[in-house]
Amino acid sequence: MRRNSKSTAETVERGHFNDYLGRHNLRRTQERIRILQEVFSTHDHFDVETLLFRLRRKKHLVSRATIYRTLKHLLDSKLVRQVDLGRNRAFYEHALGRENHEHLVCVACGKVVEFSTVTIQKLQNFVCEEFNFRPVRHSYQILGTCESCQSSS
């Protein structure tokens, strides 16, 4: 059971992405497969540069443009979600089975802590009902300084 949990997850992701590619008449290229693998090989939040660096380290030469293009497809297929960490560039995280969590970001060291909350979801429903909005997505981050950065200043 345990032994196969990782490969099972990989299969699920691979399957989702293949479905998506099929439905949209997109091809299963080396580049897309490698980017997918790399994205799902860790659970960190990542940006384009990090992903590029990780791929290059493995001698998987994929251009920056292709990473940007593939990330769009991963977002569109809901396999990946974009997160705002208060920096001036986009960060990403896995999306599958990881609903309803928000981010606490240390402005000093960049550490990211995830926290779950149902309150946010209830609040969103309440507000949208009041103003007759149909919600698409929300973005909530708390920026501050983490414990260790507080003491070292």
Count of residues of this chain found to bind DNA when the rule CB under 7 A is applied: 25
Phi/psi of residue 112, each to 5°?
-120, 130
Of residues 2 and 89, the one with the C-beta less far from DNA: 89
With CB cut-offs between 5 and 8 Å by kind, which of its own copies, DNA, none does residue 25 bind? DNA
Q: How far is CA 109 from CA 49, 145, 146, in A?
A: 18, 8, 8
Task: Please report whether residue 30 would count as binding its own copies according to CB under 8 A.
Answer: no
* Nearest Cα to Cα of residue 30 among 68, 4, 66: 66
H or E segment to which residue 73 belongs: helix 64-76
Tally of CB atoms within 10 A around 39: 23
Q: Which stretch binds DNA (CB under 7 A): 3-11, 46-54, 131-139, 144-152?
A: 46-54
Task: Please report whether residue 62 would count as binding DNA according to CB under 7 A.
Answer: yes
Q: 64-76 vs 5-23: helix axis angle to the nearest 10?
A: 90
* Nearest Cα to Cα of residue 107 among 146, 139, 140: 146
Task: Please report whether residue 21 would count as binding DNA according to CB under 7 A.
Answer: yes
Task: Please report whether residue 141 would count as binding its own copies according to CB under 8 A.
Answer: yes
With CB cut-offs between 5 and 8 Å by kind, which of its own copies, DNA, none does residue 69 bind? DNA
Which residues here bind its own copies, judged by CB under 8 A?
A: 84, 86, 104, 106-107, 113, 115, 117, 119-120, 123-124, 127-128, 130-147, 150
Which residues here bind DNA, judged by CB under 7 A?
A: 21, 25-32, 47-49, 61-66, 68-70, 72, 88-90
